[in-house]
Amino acid sequence: MKFEQPAALWGLASLLLLILFSLWRQAAARVTVPSLLLWKKIPERNPPVRALRRPRWRLELLFQALTIAAVVAALAGPYRETEQFAPRRIALVFDTSPRMQAGDRIARMKAFAKNIQDTFGSADQVTSYWWAATPKHFPGSGAVSGLDVHVDLKPMLLAASASAEHVILFSDRPVDGPKLALFGAPADNAGIVELSVSDDEVFIRIVNHGPARPLPIDLVAGDLRVNEIVPAGQRVWSHKADYSKASSVRVTLETKDSFPLDDVVEATKMGPADALVTLAGRHHEALVRVFRSIPGVTVQHGRAPARVAVGFDEEPGPGDWQVWIHSPGVPLTGVPTVAKHPLMADLANRGGNWSRRNSANCPPAPAPGSR
């Protein structure tokens, strides 16, 4: 143990003063004086030097000595030196995007993480973060595996930085903040990074991390099929044709590299985004605002054929989907009927049997005044 202010230990000399004061005893004595005139004749009460006696053991003396020692020790500032590191909270964040499967990089990241964990102290708290449906954390990195979807690193880095002082990111992309353990893509990887399809043209952009080489390309759009060779070093490729009637366009790049997931892209034509909604019956402004807040939705009043037909306290018009909104304050018109269903068949004939089977004789009512 060492002290930041060793000179403060001289304050322990005050214990000697405490002992000296405890040697000077002045015992109380009761004196009876018959008259105040005799008060001046009482001898001086201060004891002579010979009154110094051996101090008696008292609990108050012990407490006083301990208090002085504690104050002096606090002023001296004791501390202890050690060669061991203070416990740390460390978070390991793994990027498991599909591109990280190229060149077996995920296995290399796990092996590297295990090696650096061996250098940590036994008291360090190490947590691994990786994305599996939602960001998850585990004590070790053994459960880390690759995914087929792009991983957003921001939520994991926020969660890791909130629970640890040191964050290490295993990825191939530099990010500000955490310590980086980067694993670059293999030099043989080539693939498609951008696809654009219009009614008359297909456009792709190619990335090549390795040496320039010609790449065979295959395009399929309905009955149309195109086979060409992308020259070495060329980064874009396009083909013009009538794609307005094609339901999907698929482009395949034959690279035969270590990462095949970026060799195939496909675009599918969706249905029209516009939809017509008709409103019949009572007018309600809030209902109109709700439908108009949806992008691509047009609202009309009336009973014209539509994608969605809504009737408010009135039968909806014709449509692919019919919605009938009934408010409790408006009575229903017409005669209620039972819809036809196999479970409802012969319900009228079976109703009497059910009533007899489920009935039971109830006990008589108790007499007045009895329980």
- Confidence at residue 347, expressed as pLDDT on a 0 to 100 scale: 65
Q: Are residues 261 and 319 in the same domain?
A: no
User: How far is the first Cα of the chain from the last one, in angstroms, to the nearest whole number?
Assistant: 84
Alpha helices per DSSP H over the chain? 14-23, 59-76, 105-117, 153-163, 285-292, 347-358
pLDDT, tens digit, 9 for 90 and up, residues 326-370:
887 777 677 777 667 676 666 666 655 544 444 444 445 454 444
- Spell out where 231-354 has E strands: 236-240, 248-253, 264-268, 275-281, 297-301, 306-312, 319-325
Q: Six-digit token pair at 329?
A: 């304050």
What pTM, to 2 d.p., does this model score?
Answer: 0.44
In a domain, 354, yes or no: no
In a domain, 366, yes or no: no
62-66, 77-81, 124-128, 310-314, range with the lowest pLDDT: 77-81
Q: For residue 267, give the 3-state DSSP assignment.
A: strand
- Confidence at residue 206, expressed as pLDDT on a 0 to 100 scale: 92
Q: Are residues 163 and 202 in the same domain?
A: no
Sheet strands side by side (includes 89-94): 134-138, 125-132, 89-94, 166-171, 179-182
Range of the domain at 316: 275-325
Name the range with the highest mean pLDDT among 19-33, 70-84, 226-240.
226-240
Q: Are residues 158 and 95 in the same domain?
A: yes
- 135 pLDDT higher than 70: no
Q: Are residues 172 and 223 in the same domain?
A: no
Residue 235 belongs to a domain with what CATH number? 2.60.40.10
Domain count, the chain: 4
Tally of helices (H runs) and strands (E runs) in the chain = 6, 18
Of 196 and 187, the structure prediction assigns the larger pLDDT to 196
Of 53 and 262, the structure prediction assigns the larger pLDDT to 262
Q: Are residues 239 and 263 in the same domain?
A: yes
Q: For residue 149, give the 3-state DSSP assignment.
A: coil
Q: How confident is the model at residue 142 (pLDDT cuts 50, 70, 90)?
A: low
Average pLDDT estimate for 226-243: 93
* Domain-ending residue, one of 227, 250, 268: 268
Contact between 281 and 311 (Cβ < 8 Å): yes
Q: Are residues 239 and 203 in the same domain?
A: yes
* Domain-ending residue, one of 182, 205, 228: 182
* pLDDT-above-70 percentage for the chain: 78
Q: Are residues 108 and 143 in the same domain?
A: yes
Mean pLDDT over all residues of the chain? 79
